[in-house]
Amino acid sequence: MPLGALVRLPLALARAALATLRGRLGALCWSLSPLFLPLSLPGWKRVSAPSPAAPESCRQEWDEPSPTPTSVNYHFTRQCNYKCGFCFHTAKTSFVLPLEEAKRGLEMLKEAGMEKINFSGGEPFLQDRGEFVGQLVKFCKQDLKLPSVSIVSNGSLIRERWFKKYGEYLDILAISCHSFDENVNILIGRGQGKKNHVENLHKLRQWCREYAVAFKINSVINRFNVEEDMNEQIKALNPVRWKVFQCLLIEGENTGEDALREAEKFVISDEDFEQFLDRHKDVSCLVPESNQKMRDSYLILDEYMRFLNCRNGRKEPSKSILDVGVEAAIKFSGFDENMFLKRGGKYVWSKADMKLDW
């Protein structure tokens, strides 16, 4: 084994052990929460209402009306079977809420004005082989009657039997595809051995047609794929939307001392990103998102149902909506509602309203 690999091995083992311990501590904190003990998780900053001595700007922000959680991204797990080098929501815990608690939180969000829920991770289909996310999808569509229910997945663990059981309740399936070159996928951290990511993508596209689920593609543009021409492949797959993100650094996730990834080598300039977009301007379903548009325009809910504020370049969690309610927690989300609308965050997102040739 190369010397460099021997040096990195203890660090990798230590990080894995820390992630496991955080997951167990999180579960312990959750089980004790009815006792109202002031427990917090290591590595996470918890926030509360500003004191009278706080700067006026902080107190003004607290006093402002809470934004409406129209569209929420619920990252109910951080665990993933891929190791994308630029991942900005890494496996820092192994905690997943009990199903009924997750449903309670989703019902609270619906009452607060949620119209669209997007389930993400980690990899959503890792938990109970897709049954956990399937039950949540069914609950949100059948019980809560949300206009839009979607999932973001790497697609590697989805089977046709899942579509047969839950496809009717799902509006949009977004598959992350960062390259159509298997060698590039390996460099990124998405190698599947003998399996072919691109072949699987076409299989998932066909299942979406057969089970009437709108198909979407998400791509993170980075140093290894920025020169790639994806025009033909995207047009052949014909997704309803092709979300193209600029690689983003988040302190504590993919950059910094306590991060599980080192994404600096994946970062591209704004100019590189614009050149990629220009080469793909004829793809009608293209929806570009620069770092500026991404950072504050998403309502992100973590595995404890805490809103994550990314305004300072790292994820600072609120208290859980299950503890303090949606209105109190969302004040610390850092959510920019105007940027959400400006980037086209609200669109035709219910498959009942889409004119698609299934």
Spatial strand order in the sheet of 116-120: 286-289, 241-246, 214-221, 172-176, 148-153, 116-120, 71-75, 300-301, 306-309, 316-320
Q: For residues 316 and 273, is the Cβ–Cβ distance under 8 A?
A: no
Q: For residues 255 and 264, is the Cβ–Cβ distance under 8 A?
A: yes
C-beta atoms surrounding 300 within 10 Å: 21
Q: Please return the burial class of 9, using the count of CB atoms within 10 Å of its CB with bins 0-12, 13-18 and 19+.
A: exposed
Which is catalytic among the residues 80, 177, 208, 310? 80
Q: For residues 154 and 80, is the Cβ–Cβ distance under 8 A?
A: yes
If you count DSSP H runs as helices and E runs as strands, how many of each does the chain have, helices first? 13, 10
- Rounded CA-CA distance 240/175 in Å is 12
Which is catalytic among the residues 58, 84, 177, 310? 84
Which is catalytic among the residues 87, 208, 247, 310? 87
Active site includes 177? no
The DSSP bridge pattern shows strands 306-309 and 316-320 to be antiparallel
Active site includes 140? no
Active site includes 310? no
Tokens of 206: 């066909």
Handedness of CA 299, 301, 306, 309 (dihedral sign): negative
- Rounded CA-CA distance 253/137 in Å is 27
Task: Please write down the HEC assignment for all residues of 240-299.
Answer: CEEEEEECCCCECCCECCCCCCCHHHHCCCHHHHHHHHHHCCCCCCEEEECHHHHHCCCC
Q: For residues 253 and 90, is the Cβ–Cβ distance under 8 A?
A: yes
Q: In this structure, which amino acid lies at residue 10?
A: P
- Rounded CA-CA distance 137/168 in Å is 10
Catalytic residues: 80, 84, 87
